[in-house]
Structure 1
Amino acid sequence: MELGSADAFDRMGTLGVEEEFYIVDERGRPTSGISDLVYDHPPTGILEDRIDHELFQFTIETQTPLIEDAGGVEAVVRDVRAALVDHAAEHGYRIAAAGLHPTAEWYELDHATKPRYRSQLDRIQYPQHRNTTSGLHVHVGVDDADKATWIANELRWYLPPLLALSANSPFWCGYDTGLSSARAKIFEALPNTGMPTHFEDFAAYQRFERRMVELGSIEDRGELWYDVRPHTGHGTVEVRTPDAQTDPAATAAFVEYVHALVADLAARYEDGEPGTDVRREILDANKWHAMRYGRDAEFITRDCEDTITLEEFVAAETDRLGTDALRRLLDAESGTARQRRLRRESGFDALCEALCLE
């Protein structure tokens, strides 16, 4: 039984970035490739032991090395992506990035054969069979387990605006869903996803994690797929909300903001701030607004007395934290808007090409 420990939380401010991508053919269309890229020809260099696959044979994940300097995130992300693109090209593949591949028809694609995924497919059935989603996961090291749990609690209110900024998945099986992040809605069909509840302290979270495994609800702690969690193996707070990003500069901006926000929350915890416990229903409503409306979403405030626009949220956070990461994201064309524009102007062939990494 794989369970973590409070002892894992021993470093503050380190970073790790996980990005999920799609293996595609020369036309940018999904194709099975994990056997070649992960098993038969495992990569060396920066990708050695930092590449894995996901549920489908056309989905692949990279992990960065441990990043000590937040200012170096974009360079590391670009290096990892370049290595993946080169590795794929050596074996006749390309790599694409988005929250959902717009033309992937899950019922025509092959699942991975790893026993862990076969077990999930058997237990979860339809919601997992169709799960072609790709996300961006940001890990920030925290030096105390109770602090990490408090930070994860507080982060929940900030996650819907992050999802709205990251939205990069309007198309599903070639169909415009009308959503800004169809990925988020599809992923929420799985168990143990979405907004987590508030945990009083690390002991409460660890009891929950342990009971879920012991009672057979999950096979390991990795199946707690909530939007944010204290990662009891890595000793981090893991933010799992954003759609996968096509532009590496966007990935770096999300990491920059999450790092600054976690540092701010850590300082507030150390100052004895009591924290908040926003109702999960309010958080779910805010997340729905982000999924549906993206950049046009409005969010219910913590006190449930008003709403704020995404522009207002970005302005407040930019001023409060002293980083322009969110402003850079908001000023750029959104992933969802870009995908719809390319589809409208040039069709799916051009869109698939535009999602490929160079």
Structure 2
Amino acid sequence: MKLEFAPSARSTVGLEWEIMLADPVTGDLVGRAPELLAALEAESADERHTVTGELLTNTIEVTSGVGRSVTQAVDDIAQAISAVRAATEPAGIELLSAGSHPFAQWYDQRVSDKSRYHTLIERTQWWGRNMMIWGIHVHIGVESQAKVLPIINALTAYLPHLQALAASSPFWAGERTGYASNRALVFQQLPTAGLPWSMRDWSQFESYLDDMVRTGVMADASEVRWDIRPAPRWGTIEVRACDGMSTLPELASVAALVQVLVEHFSRQLDQGLLLPELAPWFHRENKWRAARYGLEARVIVDAAGNQLPVREHLVRTLSELAPIARDLECSREFGGVASILDSGASYARQLAAADAADGDLGAVVQHLIREFRSGPESSVAEVPPLIRTQPSSN
């Protein structure tokens, strides 16, 4: 199967953000996207941003245009959110974002009336109906098809870092899971989801797709649901590992980190260097550790199996790659990663909000609603007890 990789300007940025619709009083999800989408889609037709539906009727997705910088893509998202608010506020609907809703139940949710969603649910059954998950997708332009798989192989080693920064699903259907990102482990239950297969080059990716289509596993490349994947239609590498970010500044910071890492590896390829890779069993362990411990995880950082706290490795990465952030004009957003390290990721803030309210998860929803409007609430002094620092020996 021959698959073209669309022309794309190097290190351009595209963002997708899945947003929950909730009742402002109860905090529960409301399946009211269908009544809003026709007008919102029409209004965004001539804009850089788009507003669309998703798998469940309790969700609206906003996407940016192709940004020359992170700032431009984030500005698109901000305009999209403003347009959505103009529709939801008169309708009595609140907005929030996280990897999961703290207490909503899957059996109360409705699937959007599109054939591809019904096909997915028919095939995946219980697991598909349990996909009450929200995420962000970060697209980075790559100018050469030959670079795509080598960069994906190298960037996979940083998926746990991104996952830890974005982790925002410590609750699931009213239960405190003990995981920073329960979404990460739920999502990988879908066919073709999870960590990417390690592939040498584009022809091997084409062979993989040929096998999958020929055997009826998928219809086309859009059904590859890896944590990081090629997006041939757009000419990008798409990172999909992250929970829904709870605030726009945090979304901008994670997007900047992804952009800088892709550009870093692209420059190494330009220099004729062989990009570093980890064994797949290390990737699998790192993903689990980031899901369990979030920013308190220790990650395996090289082929020799050396390990570092993910916070320490992120600090090193920020220092080493700061010049690239300046070149890409995203230093402000890139520096926001340090702010997440200082104040705690969303999962820790949610747990702190629950503890402060004697376990009332309705209070956690109200916390998320406030954060979505105003930015991160700096209220976390320490990591809550169910997500402790990972032991140094495993």
The answer for the alignment partner of 1:58 in structure 2 is 58
The answer for the alignment partner of 1:42 in structure 2 is 41
Look up the equivalent residue of 1:305 and give its one-letter code: G
8 A contact 1:168–1:334 mirrored in 2: yes
The answer for the alignment partner of 1:337 in structure 2 is 348
The answer for the alignment partner of 2:218 in structure 1 is 218
Q: 1:9 aligns with which of 7, 10, 19?
A: 7
Counterpart CA distance in 1 for 2:87 and 2:171 is 28
Look up the equivalent residue of 1:35 and give its one-letter code: P
Counterpart CA distance in 2 for 1:305 and 1:216 is 38
Matched, 1:194 2:209: no
The 3-state SS of whatever aligns with 1:305 is coil
Q: Deviations over 1:51-72 (max 9, x none)?
A: 2222211022111111112343
Look up the equivalent residue of 2:50 and give its one-letter code: R
Deviating more after overlay: 14-23 vs 212-221: 212-221
Look up the equivalent residue of 2:280 and give its one-letter code: R
Counterpart CA distance in 1 for 2:277 and 2:294 is 25
Look up the equivalent residue of 2:343 and give its one-letter code: A
The answer for the alignment partner of 1:260 in structure 2 is 260
What TM-score does the superposition give when structure 1 sets the normalisation length?
Answer: 0.94
Look up the equivalent residue of 1:238 and give its one-letter code: E
Deviating more after overlay: 121-130 vs 345-354: 345-354
Displacement of 1:49 in angstroms is: 7.3
The answer for the alignment partner of 1:107 in structure 2 is 107
Counterpart CA distance in 1 for 2:304 and 2:86 is 49
Displacement of 1:336 in angstroms is: 0.7
Counterpart CA distance in 2 for 1:279 and 1:97 is 33
The answer for the alignment partner of 1:19 in structure 2 is 17
- Gap regions ≥5 residues in structure 1: none
- The root-mean-square deviation of aligned C-alpha atoms, in Å, is 1.9
Look up the equivalent residue of 2:185 and give its one-letter code: K
Displacement of 1:92 in angstroms is: 3.2
8 A contact 1:52–1:60 mirrored in 2: yes
Give the number of equivalent residue pairs: 356
Displacement of 1:249 in angstroms is: 0.3
- Runs of 4+ residues over 6 Å off in structure 1: 46-49
Q: Deviations over 1:105-143 (max 9, x none)?
A: 001211222100000111111111100111111000111
What TM-score does the superposition give when structure 2 sets the normalisation length?
Answer: 0.86
The 3-state SS of whatever aligns with 1:151 is helix
The answer for the alignment partner of 1:326 in structure 2 is 337
Task: State percent identity of aligned pairs.
Answer: 28
The 3-state SS of whatever aligns with 1:113 is coil
Q: Using CA pairs under 8 Å that are at least 6 residues apart, name the structure with larger relative contact order, 1 or 2.
A: 1
Counterpart CA distance in 2 for 1:308 and 1:127 is 34
Q: 2:368 aligns with which of 350, 355, 358?
A: 355
